[in-house]
Chain A
């Protein structure tokens, strides 16, 4: 599904497949829950019913998509998403161990790699400003529970 082809990918097929997949995942996750009856609903009652609907809707979406004209999903460019993921997950790991300044600098510098247009001079300046301002406003001012420096 994560093809980088520019044509031949139906958005509706993807949507339908996603719904069926999520519905299936939900049914599997709810496999051990009690279903119960309408009068005494178990924890699994509504999840199972919702997943059933979801799979049904997904199947209809897929069915309709197959009979429709070719429609592409638009250009898949997952690089920014991947770079942002690395930046954000890194922030999460660094924040609790090394404090706000280091994690914020990591986030801002890494995230700026997601855009080809970024210029180093600007990145350094904005990282400095945002990190200092963020430490003052959020950690010191609003009391977000993070240490500012690693020590």
Chain B
């Protein structure tokens, strides 16, 4: 069977009434949380994850994925209309999009960003369908040493992606690894549990995520908050002019390619893709003086790129089992919870999951187009909802979600411990993304390291014996080299300056 047969098979899975329903629910939830500041896709997925246990695996994964790309999709709405990105990856869109809104062309900017997202979403889903099976056949031959390198690569990339100091990010990775080691070891003994019985089964990923990304976010939003000023933006006619369409077509294609490639790289992801696309468009534009004044290419490019990247980020997860960012780590947790292990063999062994998910992305993108454009007025009104009404509800969802994990009240108390840690980490300006990646990759890292060194009788040469290990070593070294080059250091600082206070788990409403 070729790709198209598989895709038809995938569509038959994705279009089943229940999967369609959950795709719609996910896209709808994603749209809402993409607009609401103060809650992001990571926290939402963590809250909902335990509640999906009674669903079939595909329905749960389809819904959680739709939440992610749905939030990327709608984050642009508030970026354009009120200059506040609902998600960090839409920060690049504010630059031109808000200028367009001030000129009464918000409708066109929204339409172009929706069309760009749709084009990018469908294209990168195709890239996923073609690239993942090919990559997974290569990955099937990976042994434990290669997996050690992949984990190192993933953790390193998580540090590179974090804003601020690399050193602090590496510390956060270590904290995450350490948290992953808490629990019971193979020989049955307790490890690092500090004598607390409820830690005997390890620290659940959901508990940490809800604490760090959900509750800590609320505490710091309430701790230092100023009023969100909402400008009265006029949406204007939705349909872009012929000229605007012409200007954005190239930007969409370039943004899609750039986003797809950057999304695959471990540690890449939507925000990086969007900012890269913006600078590319500005550089190659025939009329660079228009940039900053509402150039539509500066909306079309980044919006396509962030959507493309959010979907191609599934490639390393589905082929290697290595999540490239904290949202992918959530999907990994969901798969594990549902007994689907994202290994290279998943495409062969469970084609319904893989092809169903890929096809659901097309379905989801069409649903998002329908949800977003006609209802744009409703979404803007949602954004104006005061935070004092919002946060108690978020807190309640956090508590119920975590409680339903194991029906254990002690988990809810643990959330508060991590919320306090998260609050202090925020004050210390430490990013929590690398911590989460360390926590997720920890078990795979320890298992692979143990197996590799056991088989070589402690000889570290096992890590450079196979060509694939050497190749991964070279990539790791290249990343290390690249981040120490001054140009790369300033590159890392630039998006930081533009998207200063935005966190991967949802932004603070104050810019």
A82 shortest CB reach to chain B, Å: 9
B399:A29 contact, CB within 8 angstroms: no
Q: A21-61 vs B: 1/0 string, CB under 8 Å?
A: 01100100110010001111101101100110110011011
Residues A144 and B458 in contact, CB atoms below 8 Å apart: no
Residue A128 interfacial (CB < 8 Å): no
Contacts of B420 in A (CB 8 A): 81, 85
Closest Cβ–Cβ distance, residue A117 to chain B (whole Å): 5
A148 within 8 A of B: no
Is B413 located at the chain interface by the 8 A CB criterion?
Answer: yes
Contacts of A69 in B (CB 8 A): none
Task: Render B404-422 as a binary contact track against A, CB cut-off 8 A, 1 for contact.
Answer: 1001011011011001100
Report how far A76 CA is from B222 CA in the complex, Å: 11
Determine whether the beta carbon of A117 is less than 8 Å from that of B386: yes
Query: What B residues does A95 contact at CB under 8 A?
Result: 399, 403, 409, 412
- Assembled-state Cα–Cα distance A5/B171 (Å): 26
The total of chain A residues at the interface (CB under 8 A) is 71
Name the CB-closest residue of B to A95.
B409
Mark B164-197 against chain A: 1 for CB-CB distance below 8 A, else 0.
Answer: 0101101100110110010001010101111000
Let me know if B412 and A91 touch, CB within 8 A: yes
- Are B446 and A18 within 8 A (Cβ)? no
CA gap between A26 and B389 in the complex, in Å: 40
Q: Which residues of A contact B412 (CB under 8 A)?
A: 88-89, 91-92, 95
Q: A74-B224, A88-B416, A95-B409 are in contact. Are A57 and B454 (CB under 8 A)?
A: no
A111 at the interface (CB under 8 A from B): yes
Would A43 and B399 be within 8 Å (CB), given that A19-B175, A22-B178 are in contact? no
Q: Is A57 a contact partner of B419 (Cβ separation < 8 A)?
A: no
The reply to whether the CB of A130 lies closer than 8 angstroms to some CB of chain B is yes
Q: Is B497 an interface residue (CB 8 A)?
A: no
A78 neighbours in B (Cβ, 8 Å):
223, 423
Q: Are A107 and B427 in contact (CB under 8 A)?
A: no
B168: which A residues are within 8 A, CB to CB?
A: 12, 15, 61
Do A18 and B425 contact each other (CB < 8 Å), given the known contacts A46-B449, A50-B177, A81-B219? Answer: yes
Query: In the assembly, what is the distance between CA of A112 and CA of B393, in Å?
Result: 10
Interface string of A132-151 (1 = CB under 8 A from B): 00100010001111100000
10 intermolecular pairs with C-beta atoms under 8 Å apart: A44-B191, A74-B427, A76-B223, A78-B223, A78-B423, A92-B412, A112-B392, A115-B222, A134-B400, A145-B407
- Residues of A near any B CB (own CB < 8 A): 11-12, 14-15, 18-19, 22-23, 26, 29-30, 33, 37-41, 43-44, 46-47, 50-51, 53-54, 57-58, 60-61, 64, 73-81, 84-85, 87-89, 91-93, 95-96, 104, 107-108, 111-112, 114-115, 117-119, 122-123, 126-127, 130, 134, 138, 142-146
